[in-house]
Amino acid sequence: MKIVKDVAEMQRTADEIRRSGKRLGLVPTMGYLHEGHMSLVDEARKNADVVAISIYVNPTQFAPNEDLSSYPRDFARDEKLAETRGVDIIFAPSDSVMYPHKQLAFVEIEEVSRVLEGEFRPTHFKGVASVVAKLFNIVKPHMAVFGQKDAQQAFIIRKMVSDLNFDVNIVLAPIVREEDGLALSSRNIYLSEDERKKATVLYRSLKLAQKAVGDNERNLARVRSEMLELIASQSTGKVDYIDFVDPDTFSKVEDVGSLERVLALLAVRFGRTRLIDNMILETRPK
Ligand code: AMP
């Protein structure tokens, strides 16, 4: 496994791989790797001959009041995990490598960056889209894998790739969960023992929504109320949002209408830890 920290060296390495006729896959991450990230590596392996993973906690996607400085980091552990899983290249740049000068060019995905997560983190997706654009230009992958865990992010990256004609194929991988349903996340280690137990309420509320919609409930405001009630009765979690969108457009929906699938998304805070989760609800279209 090769570890690359420099932009020019990564670009040279990518050029050599591409010239040799091999397909290069990229899994962008912020490190502190877990099985969710590893499932993305497996997905990349199915589609590519050489698998690169980037490990970079990108400051421009964190607001000043967010957890940039406390975000968990453990490169030695990440390196071992990646090696065991058969990763070929780790691209792990420093801040001065990624942002050597004050950056003035950014990618903005309008409208969809302003809703849901974007309402609570107004500058987040500008930072995400811009760093992913940089990573695509540095690692030059044929394909890149993103997790459905961050459904809005995945939608935004796909929109960027399609609107700006990036020559990279985006593949989505399903959410990996703990046995009790909690979606794996690097941020789960912030949770106290009690919060960790209560945090399963996110998944349980999504299952409740799946059941309601499967039982032909069409009114999503009612489903939201049931979810809020469950979360309030079984945890101290503070809900930032519970929303339902058309998975193909990310526009909000309040009624199932003729949709065959509705994407339910939520963000809940436990103390200082903010968790997000989502589920595609299969409806019973009329
Ligand atoms: P992060 O390091 O949190 O920025 O995540 C890097 C990538 O891993 C993103 O595409 C995430 O959506 C994905 N990811 C994170 N957690 C999970 C999970 N539990 N299951 C599947 N993918 C995940």
CATH of the domain at 84: 3.40.50.620
> Quick check: is 286 in a domain?
no
Q: Is 151 in the same domain as 15?
A: yes
The verdict on the CB of residue 32 being under 6 Å from ligand 1 is no
What percent of the chain stands above pLDDT 70? 99
**pLDDT at residue 286 is higher than 90:** no
* Domain containing residue 254: CATH number: 3.30.1300.10
Of 142, 173, 204, which residue constitutes the final position of a domain? 173
Of 173, 201, 232, which residue constitutes the final position of a domain? 173
Higher pLDDT, 286 or 243: 243
Q: Is 227 in the same domain as 107?
A: no
> Quick check: is 285 in a domain?
no
**pLDDT at residue 33 is higher than 90:** yes
**pLDDT at residue 49 is higher than 80:** yes
Q: Is 138 in the same domain as 53?
A: yes
- Centroid of ligand 1 to alpha carbon of 40 (angstroms): 8
Mean pLDDT, the chain, integer: 97
Q: Is 137 in the same domain as 207?
A: no
Our count of domains for the chain comes to: 2
Of 149, 173, 197, which residue constitutes the final position of a domain? 173
Q: Is 169 in the same domain as 239?
A: no
> Quick check: is 92 in a domain?
yes
Domain coverage including residue 193: 186-279
According to the model, what pLDDT value does residue 15 have?
Answer: 98
Q: pLDDT of 100-134, one tens digit each?
A: 999 999 999 999 999 999 999 999 999 999 999 99
The verdict on the CB of residue 156 being under 6 Å from ligand 1 is no
| Smallest CA separation from ligand 1 atom 5, residue | 29
Kindly report the backbone phi and psi dihedral angles of residue 20, in degrees, each rounded to the nearest multiple of 5, phi listed first: -75, 0
Q: What is the chain's alpha carbon radius of gyration, rounded to the nearest angstrom?
A: 19
Query: What angle, 0 to 180 degrees and rounded to 10, lies between the N-to-C axes of helices 201-214 and 220-234?
Result: 150
> Quick check: is 259 in a domain?
yes
Does an H or E element contain 9, and which?
A: helix 7-19
- Centroid of ligand 1 to alpha carbon of 226 (angstroms): 28
According to the model, what pLDDT value does residue 285 have?
Answer: 64
| The model scores a pTM over 0.95 | yes
The verdict on the CB of residue 277 being under 6 Å from ligand 1 is no
Give CA torsion, residues 157, 112, 103, 95, to 10 deg: -60
Q: Is 169 in the same domain as 192?
A: no
Catalytic residues: 37
- Centroid of ligand 1 to alpha carbon of 123 (angstroms): 19
**pLDDT at residue 284 is higher than 90:** no
